Chain A
Amino acid sequence: MKRKPGERLAAIAPYLWLGLFFLFPFVLVLKLSLSDQALAMPPYAPQIDWSAGLAGIKRFLDALDFETYARLKSDDLYLVAYLSSLRFAAIGTILCLLVGYPIAHGMARCAPGRRNLLLLAVILPFWTSFLIRVYAWVAILKPEGLLNMALEAVGLPGLSLLNTPVSVYIGLVYCYLPFMVLPIYAVLERQDHSLLEAAADLGSPPWKTFWQVTFPLSLPGVAAGALLCFIPMVGEFVVPDLLGGAQTLMIGKTVWTEFFSNRDWPSASAVAVVLLLTLVIPIVLYQRQQAKALETGQ
């Protein structure tokens, strides 16, 4: 089969992109994770001695070791931080789904003209800096903040939410909600309305129609939204740093400590590599399930 050059380029473009912006940086991080800490600039050894040619590269490869990974295994801090991050991300994703699904559902049922307006409202927060939006939550949740002023005004006792896990969840849901709403909305909007009419004609009550028709058909959107929320949440640093308290242990902060406080780039890289591998698993599972669904023709 003969292909035009443009087509061939289009076919390899995604691979080029992945190779250049994912695989290459990943190899660098992987190499760094096998190095050792050093008091130098940059603060790790070994460095490749290009002038020595092949011998230099061989010497470099010989100096790499798995010492950093041994440390990750020997100290349970890392495991606890991973598990804690996964828990924050899992609960945050579920909360996003609980809040985001009704929003997406409501939007999809609106008249087309109003849909665009609502869509704009969902995207609008992105026009302000992420950091500033998180700081705004500090102003709302702090002891003398807007929330407590409002509670006081109606005669209710104040809450101290800032620097607790609750405020981290509030921040996570707030920041990642659009990533949940948009994919679900995209699926629901395309759904065939005649299916619902048919269900109603056959005597199915609305809640049953929802659980047996609407929801199962929207699952691809839910899965996409869940992945889009879950993956960045696991590595989230800004939200737990600004809204979290002393007891909020997340892997992003662990990487920070390794990188900045310990000045140990190899350990920081090892933590990041392990995190990446943990995150690849759910994606692979999702892909496999999708492929199976295609095969069985669902």
Chain B
Amino acid sequence: MSRFGEFTRRAAVIAAAAAVLAGCGRGGAKEEVLHIYNWSDYIDPAIVSDFTKETGIKVVYDTFDSQEVMETKLLTGGTGYDLVVPANNSVPRLIQAGVLQKLDKAQLSNFGNLWPDLMARMDPFDPGAQYTAPYMWGTIGIGYNVDAVKQRLPGVAIDSWDVVFRPENIAKLKDCGVYMLDASEDMFTVALAAQGKNPNSLAEADYAGATDMLLSIRPFVRKFHSSEYINALANGDICLAVGFSGDVFQAKARADEAGGKVKIDYVIPREGTQVYFDVFAIPADAPNPTAALKFMNYMLRPEVAAKASNYVQFANANQKALDKVDPEIRDNPNIYPTPEVFSRLFVATSKDPKLVREINRQWTRVVTGR
């Protein structure tokens, strides 16, 4: 065992040396640094490097793929992040817990570019937009492999939640792979909408009913996961995912780049679905809020917002950017819904901890069968 001991000792020395070096790198530099924490695959890397070129502010960019992880980090405090991107329904909780700081609007000269219609929908979550500025918005819908689904469901129009929430339909897709978001609150809003119930119901009985429906289709779901489906759809590993619009369009873009053997499409079901807003916000304990405001203002420029949309295939919240967005994105009703479709979209409200616990308990039943 002596060799083994020697090994571990040497490894420990190397690790310690590495830690010291890493520490130097962080402490020694004098340049201004901005720490951003955003959803994975949610920005054009060129935007970040352009910002650094223009301002000299170095950007350290971290990502998450689950709202819960981001929220928990913020609630713990001391994250070191200057700019975070929560979704609308977590904003009231974060404001109430004192996690966010008010925006200094004097430093956000481009704030007026934002779309008043969207701001009105965001108002219940952040009255007067005191704490947040919307970045992108999207919907939860059905992403699918066109050929694989058509072959298994001939004659079924892929425009309804019935495709995923009726066992007779989804059973035929089991062999080619079905994914669903592992996001309890989001999934229950669409399940309730599919049943024609209030998607933000406060009645526990409604959630029990939705759970029964979800349990009936659970055997045909390969996995509940909130980001793996992007690659899985693009590679043709799965043929259907209930997911976020922009993520599905990214899968589509990747599949097209790979030679177009896999054809992906996205649809907003006609029963309606959840629209969500991802918003920029600054944590109360941000080390460099000034740089965060600079970045926010940079992102609110019409040409930058358009560039962001063209890359991530999400609709942005910037009205002045609309004519700079690629026509194929702007004219796609599944990205920029028509007013008629828009009227069928709803936002998810922030629920009290007791109901959240009940929803999560029901979701655990759905996912594990317990």
Known contacts: A41-B98, A144-B236, A246-B223. The answer to whether A77 contacts B370 by CB under 8 A is yes
Bound CA span A261–B183, Å: 8
Give the distance to chain B from A225, nearest Cβ to Cβ, in Å: 14
Write out the residue numbers on chain A whose beta carbons fall within 8 Å of the beta carbon of B235.
Answer: 144
Q: Decide yes or no whether A274 CB sits under 8 A from chain B.
A: no
A272 at the interface (CB under 8 A from B): no
Instruction: Please tell me which one of the listed residues B68, B69, B93, B368 contacts residue A249 in the complex, with CB atoms under 8 A apart.
Output: B368
Chain A residue numbers with a CB within 8 Å of B72 are: 259-260, 263
| Cβ of A8 to closest chain B Cβ, rounded Å | 25
B97 touches A41 (CB 8 A): yes
Of B75, B237, B369, the residue contacting A41 (CB under 8 A) is B75
Interface mask (A212-254 → B, CB under 8 Å = 1, otherwise 0): 0000000000000000000000000000000001111100000
Of the residues A76, A246, A249, contact of B221 by C-beta under 8 Å: A246
Q: Mark B154-179, 1 if CB is under 8 A from A, else 0.
A: 00000000000000000000000100
B353 neighbours in A (Cβ, 8 Å): 37, 39, 262-264
Using Cβ atoms and an 8 Å threshold, which residues of chain B touch A259?
A: 72
Instruction: Give the residues from 149 to 187 in chain A that come closer than 8 angstroms, CB to CB, to chain B.
Output: 163, 182, 186
B98 surroundings in chain A (CB, below 8 A): 40-41
Interface check B71, CB cutoff 8 A: yes
Is there an interface contact between B223 and A262, defined as CB atoms closer than 8 Å?
Answer: no
Partner of A260, one of B69, B93, B221, B369: B69
Asked if residues A264 and B237 are in contact (CB atoms below 8 Å), the reply is no
State whether the Cβ of A119 lies closer than 8 Å to any Cβ in chain B.
Answer: yes
A254 (CB) vs chain B CBs: closest residue: B364
Decide if B3 touches A262 in the complex (CB within 8 Å).
Answer: no
Chain A residues with CB under 8 A of B224: 246
Cβ contact within 8 Å between B356 and A80: no
Expressed in whole angstroms, the minimum distance between the Cβ of A57 and any Cβ of chain B is: 23
Set of chain B residues within 8 Å of A81, measured between Cβ atoms? 370
**List of A residues within 8 angstroms of B364 by Cβ:** 77, 257
**Choice from B75, B177, B236 contacting A263 with Cβ under 8 Å:** B75
Bound CA span A143–B1, Å: 41
Majority-rule SS of A interface residues: loop
Tell whether A143 pairs with B177 under 8 Å between CB atoms, given A186-B1, A249-B370, A257-B360: yes
Q: Does A123 contact B (CB under 8 A)?
A: yes
User: Is A142 engaged at the interface, CB distance under 8 Å to the other chain?
Assistant: yes
| B367 contacts across to A, CB distance below 8 A | 246
Chain B minimum-CB-distance residue to A76? B370
Chain A residue nearest to B96 (CB atoms) is A39
State whether B360 touches A142 (Cβ < 8 A).
no
Contacting residues, chain A, for B74 (C-beta < 8 A): 41
A168 CB, nearest partner CB in chain B, Å: 13
Please encode chain B, from 231 to 257, with 1 for each CB lying within 8 Å of some chain A CB and 0 for all others.
000011100000000000000000000
Whether a CB of chain B sits under 8 angstroms from the CB of A116 is: yes
Interface set, chain B 192-240, CB cutoff 8 A to A: 218, 221-224, 235-237
| Contact status A260-B68, CB under 8 Å | yes
Residue of A nearest to B93 (CB): A39
A43 at the B interface (CB under 8 A): yes
Question: Are A245 and B223 within 8 A (Cβ)?
Answer: yes
Q: Which chain B residues lie closer than 8 Å to A43 at the CB level?
A: 75, 97
Q: A123 and B4: CB pair below 8 A?
A: yes
Q: Give, as a whole number of angstroms, the nearest-CB distance from A284 to chain B.
A: 27
Q: In this complex, what residue of B is CB-closest to A164?
A: B222
Which listed residue, B4, B66, B237, B370, touches A80 by the CB 8 Å rule?
B370
**Interface residue ranges of B61-77 to A (CB < 8 Å):** 66, 68-69, 71-72, 74-77
**Docked complex Cα distance between A41 and B71 (Å):** 11
Taking a contact as CB atoms closer than 8 A, the residue among B4, B96, B357 that contacts A182 in the complex is: B4
| Residues of chain B within 8 A of A77, CB atoms compared | 361, 364, 370
CB distance from A253 to the nearest CB of B (A): 8
Distance of A142 Cα from B184 Cα, bound (Å)? 26
Which A-chain residue is minimally distant from B356 (CB atoms)? A262
Set B75, B369, B370: member contacting A42, Cβ < 8 A: B75
In the complex the two chains form, is A123's CB within 8 Å of B7's CB?
yes
Q: In the complex, A182→B3 CA distance in Å?
A: 12
Is A75 an interface residue when CB atoms closer than 8 A count as contact? Answer: yes
On chain B, the residues within 8 Å of A80 by CB distance are 370
Q: Jot down 5 A-B pairs with beta carbons below 8 A, ordered by A.
A: A43-B97, A116-B3, A123-B4, A143-B177, A261-B184
Contact surface of B with A, Cβ cutoff 8 Å = 1, 3-4, 7, 66, 68-69, 71-72, 74-77, 93, 96-99, 177, 184, 218, 221-224, 235-237, 284, 353, 356-357, 360-361, 363-364, 367-370
New contact pairs (5) apart from A144-B237, A264-B357, CB-CB < 8 Å: A41-B76, A81-B370, A144-B235, A263-B71, A263-B75
